[in-house]
A = this chain, B = another copy of it.
């Protein structure tokens, strides 16, 4: 075999199709090595990417990207795609500031047909692309690659429902590994598993069709077949799978690690020129035994401090841990407390609750809409539901929060995890919109603890002291250095009788405490909304106010406080330092620095303002 056939020397994706199957297999080995090496260094998604290596190679051999459009759902399985489409050299910058994204980004490459990060969007996006192709007289294909986990989200079903009635060249590839992030849930997952095992499907179909055509009297042969293979018969006689009921031609299940078999199915799908559903069985973590054996633990690898020997010992999301343990302990004494997660049991620290109170623990799949409406249903029957969810995924519940909870002032508690900067996952995962979003909803209270102990207190307040929607928001990762014991009876952490007040909430209060000089008083908010009248009264004593928030500026707490103070006649300086626009991937400290929320950044803002003042 010549040198040119190696990953770094091929002209990709074009030359892929010139390789033999064995050459492809060797290439897959190279790809896996590259992915494992990079992820262990940079962090990122491991199991999902190792599971889709052969599928991606086969896709790029059968289809011609970027003319054919491949839409990766979530995009955390797109590393092989990136390596095959011009990003081999930059792959070492994966998830680094200025580097390539861990998800699909159209601005990064013309081969990234659609942005990704959140689940269950791919079919809808690919169908939009397919309809545009039809209108443009373009005969290429739109392909959605979507995991069974993403099928727990209603948007995937809405996409299927629309695409299935079309005559477009749309191919939906189910990447079926029985996992979303932890074990996949729901009736549909059970259904998929029931057809996953049916490896004889394609053969059986031919066989039974033959029998039905050639046998004049249906007798012993058919009877035997019924006894031997009821489900195959069902799959054959008329319609068969749910996907055929939804208008798709169903091909599968295919061995997702057999390139020849994958190519055969994909070529068939390509020829059909109608909505086709290809069911591909893959093994998450394939080719890396620690990940194969424990795909959940190897789903996402953080960039530093990862214990590769025993991933279960990696407790890096410590706010989540504290939240999960506290909730479980509250539930020990209160049988009305229920916990809900949207496929993030471990990510949100709810494994403790699940272990202790399994009958009151609900993993609803990647279904944030359902999670809220379901919670409201629990609440209407006397339960106290606590939905733990990442900030950016809560965006999907906006209507349900308003319609199913807030209007009726139904008491549901939100544990908003990953609030604030999220670091290397980038724009799609930043937790910067939860506050502006919730501030638009009446009957809502928000707490933003800065330490573990405050988180415990806030959770208790949200559960027992509030009505309506009560949210507790806390960041990804661990508690940072504390500012010393806070007197919980006072808002002011520093009170020098200055005329200059700096305000913040959440973890950045520590930065502020250190940044504020002796000429600056410091006020910490913990219950950030509704804003306490006492806070406004304190503010009225100052002539300069500097508000810092690790949140989107537009519609945030700072603007709300300003409006409130203005009504009271405040006419002093009011400077808001917050986040504008979408925040690209970068490590936490870089994000903090960029938006003036680091200790240094805050000091500059406070001092610059001071010097401005001296100048006038």
Contacts and interface: CB of A to CB of B under 8 A. Distances in A.
A38 interface: no
A563 B338 CA distance: 40
16 contacts: A114-B404, A128-B373, A128-B378, A131-B374, A135-B338, A136-B382, A158-B367, A161-B186, A163-B187, A165-B185, A217-B220, A218-B219, A218-B223, A396-B398, A443-B581, A555-B560
A493 interface: no
A127 B369 CA distance: 13
Contact of A427 (B359, B362, B407, B581): B407
A246 B187 contact: yes
A308 interface: no
A227 to B, nearest CB: 10
For the complex of A and B, the 8 pairs showing the least CB-CB separation, nearest first, are A128-B377, A154-B154, A164-B187, A132-B381, A158-B370, A124-B373, A398-B398, A395-B399
A360 B71 CA distance: 22
A128 B381 contact: yes
A287 interface: no
B440 A377 contact: no
Nearest to A552: B440
A159 interface: yes
A161 B169 CA distance: 28
Contacts of A436: 439-440, 555
A160 B440 CA distance: 30
Interface in A391-426: 392-393, 395-396, 398-400, 402-404, 406-408
Interface stretch (A228-236, A484-492, A587-595): A228-236
Interface SS of A by simple majority: helix
Interface residues of A, number: 120
A440 B442 contact: no
A187 B377 contact: no
Interface string A235-253: 0011100100111000000
With most chain B CB atoms within 10 A of its CB, the pick from A155, A245, A399 is A399
A559 interface: yes
A337 B128 CA distance: 13
Interface string A186-200: 111011000000000
A105 to B, nearest CB: 8
B376 A161 contact: no
Contacts of A220: 217
A317 B419 CA distance: 42
A316 interface: no
Contact of A369 (B107, B154, B246, B365): B154
A9 to B, nearest CB: 32
Nearest to A360: B135
A188 B157 CA distance: 10
A338 B229 CA distance: 47
A237 B234 contact: yes
Given A373-B155, A563-B559, A402 B395 contact: yes
Nearest to A71: B377
A186 B165 contact: yes
Q: How many copies does the complex hold?
A: 2
Given A125-B380, A128-B381, 15 more contacts: A113-B380, A115-B407, A125-B374, A128-B379, A129-B377, A231-B238, A233-B237, A393-B399, A395-B403, A398-B398, A437-B440, A440-B552, A443-B581, A555-B560, A562-B562
A220 B378 CA distance: 53
Given A115-B404, A154-B369, A158-B152, A238 B247 contact: no
A520 to B, nearest CB: 20
A554 interface: yes
A235 to B, nearest CB: 10
A364 interface: yes
A568 B563 CA distance: 15
Contacts of A312: none
A112 B56 CA distance: 51
Contacts of A160: 187
A426 to B, nearest CB: 9
Nearest to A427: B407
Contact of A115 (B162, B165, B238, B408): B408
B238 A127 contact: no
Interface string A444-481: 00000000000000000000000000000000000000
Contacts of A559: 555, 559-560, 563
Contacts of A190: 165, 247
B364 A158 contact: yes
B124 A377 contact: yes
A180 B383 CA distance: 33
A62 interface: no
Given A121-B373, A377-B125, A396-B398, A106 B238 contact: no
Contacts of A260: none
